[in-house]
């Protein structure tokens, strides 16, 4: 099994590393843990094969894993997007999750801070993410970290049959 070099953090016994292909089952487990927390487990259709293809073959996103004493306790999945107004890339945080039994130790803050470090090192203009409106615990946490809610924006989505229909408009 290939292993990624872990980066020590300012929390004793907590390290962060980039995921490797052998982590695919773990990544799926953490995604399901997040989905369960968000009451959306029934919406998870991701598979190990799909994650292997999109994360490691196509490299469409990246994953960092937080470990306490070598045991995985959380993750963040992110990718680059682009701001035409800034004229530069940004990081978009798709998911950040720390297992419930490991919360309150500063691991989420450290994972988010590490993403900030990556964004700065890669000369990104900003770090963006979404948060469910009911998740006041996370909202308070993000605001404490300096995040500003983008209340004037509405998220739109086209998926499934509607996405197929949209694509057919091109034909």
In a domain, 62, yes or no: yes
Domain count, the chain: 1
Assign 92 to helix, strand or coil: strand
- Set 37, 92, 107, 142: catalytic member: 142
- Give the confidence band of 4 by pLDDT, cuts at 50, 70, 90: low
Q: Is residue 129 part of a domain?
A: yes
Give the other-Cβ count within 10 Å of 133's Cβ: 8
CA distances from 5 to 18, 70, 137, 149, 154 (A): 8, 12, 32, 34, 39
Instruction: Give the contacts of 110 (CB within 8 A, at least 6 positions apart).
Output: 9, 10, 11, 14, 16, 66
Tell me the C-alpha distance between 47 and 25, whole Å.
9
The predicted pLDDT at position 170 comes to 84
Look at residue 110 in the predicted model and tell me its pLDDT. Answer: 96
- Whether the per-residue pLDDT at 6 is higher than 90: the answer is no
CATH number at residue 14: 3.40.630.30
Residue 1 placed within a domain: no
What local confidence, expressed as pLDDT, does residue 7 receive? 85
With respect to residue 108, please indicate whether it lies within any of the assigned structural domains.
yes
pTM of whole model > 0.75?
yes
The closest of 25, 23, 99 to 68, measured between CA atoms, is 99
Strands 14-18 and 71-83: unpaired
Q: Is residue 1 over pLDDT 50? A: no
Give me the pLDDT at residue 5, please: 77
Per DSSP, the residues of 20-85 read: -GGGHHHHHHHHHHHHHHTT-GGG----HHHHIIIIIIS---EEEEEEETTEEEEEEEEEEEEETT
| Residue at 64 is within a domain | yes
Q: How far apart are CA 18 and CA 86, in angstroms?
A: 27
pLDDT at 3: 55
At a CB cut-off of 8 Å and minimum separation 6, what does 21 contact? 2, 52, 56
User: Is 92 one of the catalytic residues?
Assistant: no
pLDDT tens digit sequence for 86-124: 999 999 999 999 999 999 999 999 999 999 999 999 999
Which residue, among 98, 89, 159, has the nearest Cα to 128 in the 3D structure?
A: 89
In a domain, 2, yes or no: no
Note the pLDDT of residue 171.
Answer: 82
Within-domain flag for 140 = yes
pLDDT at 50: 98
Supply the range of the domain harboring residue 162. 7-168
Task: Report phi then psi at 30, rounded to 5.
Answer: -70, -35
């Amino acid at each position: 099994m290939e292993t990624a070099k872990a980066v020590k953090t300012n929390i004793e016994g907590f390290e962060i590393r980039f995921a490797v292909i052998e982590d695919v089952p773990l990544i799926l487990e953490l995604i399901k843990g997040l989905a369960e927390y968000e009451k959306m487990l029934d919406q998870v259709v991701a598979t190990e094969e799909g994650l292997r293809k999109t994360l490691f073959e196509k490299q469409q996103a990246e994953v960092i894993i937080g470990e306490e004493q070598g045991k995985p306790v959380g993750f963040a999945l992110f990718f680059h997007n682009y701001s035409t107004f800034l004229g530069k890339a940004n990081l978009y945080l798709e998911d950040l999750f720390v297992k419930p039994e490991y919360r309150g130790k500063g691991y989420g803050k450290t994972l988010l801070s590490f993403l900030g470090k990556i964004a700065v090192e890669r000369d990104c203009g900003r770090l963006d993410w979404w948060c469910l409106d009911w998740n006041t615990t996370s909202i308070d946490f993000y605001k404490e970290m300096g995040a500003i809610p983008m209340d004037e924006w509405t998220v739109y989505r086209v998926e499934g049959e509607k996405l197929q229909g949209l694509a057919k408009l091109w034909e």
